[in-house]
Amino acid sequence: MSFSKVPLRLAATVVVLAVTACGSEAKPRTADAEVATLQSAPAASAAPSATGVGAVIRPDASSADIQDLERVYFTCLRDNGAPSSKDGLSKPGQPSPAPEKVRAANAACADKQPVSWLDVERRTNPEFPDLLRAAAKCLKKKGFQARVVQEPEWRLAYRDSGEFMRAGDTEAKCIDQAFAARIKTYR
């Protein structure tokens, strides 16, 4: 499965967790931070990395594989005192868990948080901008006004949201083509 087909539910989940952890302080990046290395694992298990990357969603992951990764992550959060509406233990209108509990749960479960292979590439591959430019070039050949932007992070950008919506499958194919050699390391 390509990156663009990852369910929106995962993105919404990350947003919810980010909002609940608003009070947390960002840890400064250090110059000697380790670079994550990736090892192949069965799609359903997507073994978490010891380097803190999280549980990598492989390019060929099915919806069921992604749901399994999410289930493990949300169970960990719940077990560490941060229930969410996703697992039915916290309902809208009820008080949220204390920010300290949310921060502690996020830290305890960081190695289980699902993260797409493309996000791992963005964080660890120095060639990422060049590969993304190759994907943008592919999109341009197919009639899209795609470009690469760096802020707030390296990503593809489009003329407007309509073009972004139309690009879906084409973007996935162009990313798969541009990152073909790298994708092999995730399988």
Which residue(s) pair with 147 in the sheet? Answer: 157
For the stretch 73-92, pLDDT in tens is 999 998 998 876 665 555 56
- Report whether pLDDT(7) > 70: no
User: How many helices (H) and strands (E) would you count in the chain?
Assistant: 7, 4
Cβ pair 73, 113 in contact under 8 A? yes
Buried b / exposed e over 58-93, threshold 16 CB at 10 Å, is bbebeeebbebbbebbbebbbebebbbebeeebeee
Q: Give 72's Cβ-side CA count (13 Å radius).
A: 19
pLDDT (0 to 100) of residue 86: 61
The residues that bridge with 116 in the sheet, in sequence order, are: 57
Output the pTM of the full model.
Answer: 0.62
pLDDT of residue 84: 66
Compare 31 and 169 and report the one with higher pLDDT. 169
Q: Are 144 and 170 in contact (CB under 8 A)?
A: yes
**Mean pLDDT value of segment 124-133:** 94
